[in-house]
Amino acid sequence: MTNARKTTLLLTLLVIAATTLRAQEGRRKESTQGKTQGPPRHSVRIDETASHLPKIELPEFIITGALRLNAPEVEKMSALSSAMVPIPSVPFLGLGEKGNLSPDERLMGVPPAPEVKREPSRGRTSVLYGRFGSPSILAIAGDRTGELRSSVKGFIDGSDGFDPATEYLRGGLHADITMPLRSSEGLLDRALFGAEASAQGWRYRLYGSTTPELLRIQRSGGIRLSLRSAEAAPFRYTVTGGWKTTSQSDSSSLHENVIDIALHLSQATAGIRLGGDFSYWVNPVVSRSLSSDRTTVSLLQVGGSAEMAGPMEIHGGAGVQIAQPNREGTLVVPRFQVSLSYGLTPEVTGFFLVKSGYETRTLAGLFEINPYLMNSADVHLRRVKYEVRSGLMFPVWGLIHGTVSIGTGEEDEFVEFADLDSDGVWELNYAGGVTVKKLQAEAAGNLTALDEIAASIHYTSVRDPATTNVVPYVPALQALMKWTHLLDEEISAEVHVEYRSSVPTDWLNRGFIAGWFVVGASAEYKVSSQTRLHARIENLFDTRYYRWNGYRERPLFLTLGFDWRW
């Protein structure tokens, strides 16, 4: 691409951004001078048992044999859960997964990142799969020419292919700002930023975000430090620690200060790699709406893992989670998981996974939304679950690869309120997915993603004894499709469609099936080897928030951002 074309495209992006901001400001003034008063936000009927309402997911640890720590991120959760002060849900400890996928991502049938040859001076190519349900579920991260930018999550948690063996000094900045083009909530809907620097194996990251939601405005920020050994070393170590602060402006006025530290060690001997994990997490939470102003939750985890390479690869792990929620005795939570993969042919690989665990959480917060819970300061949730999954990874044709997985799981959930008992919820999940990737072979032997098509589907059926006479089984369906294409070495584009539907437990009273889907497109322009500009537009069709006048949300969002690295 010539310099003239680059300059023209950059100026066009800036003009579009300026025009959008000016048009938005005009609409804000017009709506302020005279607009029809709609129903108040608190007129939304809140059902504490409904999982289709928005909520904020608080930090979650995912610890594997390579120690992966999820960064704080804002997602949609139910109104009741948004008031929770949880013990983080740890799927399993000491897993030792191959590749750079979290356990939850592997369960969706997503294959590990392809083994990619690299030049020592150019960094590693890795494929980052986001949590299912996020609009941007796939992103390619790394430092090589022609790759897509990493997501904010990948930028923060360090899953962008950083290898201390080849990257001794670097840093960068990342920023995203999301503006609603068709909404009455104001100009700024979401802002994310991050900065990082690394030297001699150390990595320093600073991040922050501001996100308005249905019932709150959440602001969060923090700093994270990590020290990692070279990936090729027989003895590997990873030390991670950080501090995160979060405040919510709503009726609960929650304020959190989370401090955590984690350590992973592993040693390869005679084809077997043994590893150990340790982490400690403490979260003192202050809430003005509770009878007790402060609730402290601490979490200690230890675990071990084992990996055996060869035609049959076995990854196993076990651990224990020791939690001390407020006003409760020590809770011990054991977990284990075993996964097996076997090369059936040189092209086809099968895998089998079994996991089980027991977890508990302490919840506190916005119970004033339900008059039956006004005197409840704590809610104790205990959950026993297992999951079995199997699948195949196979070539479709040429350099196109696919994955199919099926599985089942059972979840027995018991919720105990301070002043109210519940019979619990029994849940059965079936999930399957297909991911197809078309790879282009370069002359140097490296692989880059030229086109990427992903599709996955998830079905959940929940039996709630409390609603047997209304909806004995509450189904939920999720589906996602995404296409990514590299136009040339400077420009990449993607299109994604996500659909999610669920039937609320009181659907007979509401008279409609709640659900939403997102249609979006994005593009990235590589200005130079250090700087990239990106833009994304998404339209959300939402029927979950029932308005008494029949209005349903259809917000349109525009996101502009940049990545700069030295």
Highest mean pLDDT among 215-229, 258-272, 461-475: 258-272
Q: Is the pLDDT of residue 258 over 70?
A: yes
| The pLDDT of residue 564 | 80
Model confidence pLDDT, tens digit, residues 268-297: 887 788 888 787 877 766 655 544 455 566
pLDDT score of 410? 59
Query: One-letter amino acid identity for 353?
Result: L
- pLDDT at 314 exceeding the cut of 50: yes
What was the pLDDT predicted at 62? 30
Query: Residue 408's pLDDT is what?
Result: 63
The whole-angstrom separation of Cα 64 and Cα 264 is: 9
When mean pLDDT is compared across 55-64, 242-251, 523-532, the lowest value belongs to 55-64
Which residues have CB under 8 Å from 314's CB, separation 6+? 306, 307, 308, 338, 339, 340
- Kindly tell me if the per-residue pLDDT of 331 is higher than 50: yes
Phi-psi group of 239: left, alpha or beta (phi > 0 → left; psi -120 to 50 → alpha; rest → beta) = beta
Between residues 230 and 406, the one the model is more confident about? 230
What pLDDT score was predicted for residue 55?
32
Name the residue with higher pLDDT: 504 or 495: 495
Distance of CA 104 to the CA centre of its chain: 10
Average pLDDT of 319-329?
Answer: 59
Residue 181 in this model has a pLDDT that exceeds 70: yes
- 205-228 pLDDT, tens per residue? 777 776 655 445 667 778 878 887
Task: Give tens-digit pLDDT for 362-399.
Answer: 444 333 333 333 334 444 555 566 667 677 766 665 44
- Residue 1: what pLDDT? 56
% residues pLDDT > 70 (the chain): 29
Structure tokens at 443: 């002359």
Return the top range by mean pLDDT from 83-87, 153-157, 384-388: 384-388
| Residue owning tokens 């035609």 | 311
171 or 161, which is more confident:
171
Torsion from C-alpha of 202, 230, 98, 258, nearest 10 degrees: -20
How far is Cα 233 from Cα 203, in angstroms, rounded to an integer?
18
Name the range with the highest mean pLDDT among 17-21, 289-293, 425-429, 506-510.
17-21
Q: What is the pTM of this model?
A: 0.49
Select the more confidently predicted residue: 538 or 455: 538
> Closest Cα partner for 400 from 434, 437, 435, 433?
437
| Predicted pLDDT at 457 | 57
How far is it, in rounded angstroms, from Cα 253 to Cα 256?
10
> In this model, does residue 31 exceed pLDDT 60?
no
Higher pLDDT among residues 268 and 553, named by residue: 268
- pLDDT score of 118: 28
Residue 151: its pLDDT value, please? 28
CATH topology of domain 3-29+44-565: Maltoporin; Chain A (2.40.170)
- What is the Cβ-side half-sphere exposure of residue 288, based on CA atoms within 13 angstroms? 7
User: Which pLDDT score, from 0 to 100, does residue 449 have?
Assistant: 46
Reply yes or no on whether the pLDDT at 81 is more than 60: no
Mean pLDDT computed over every residue of the chain: 55
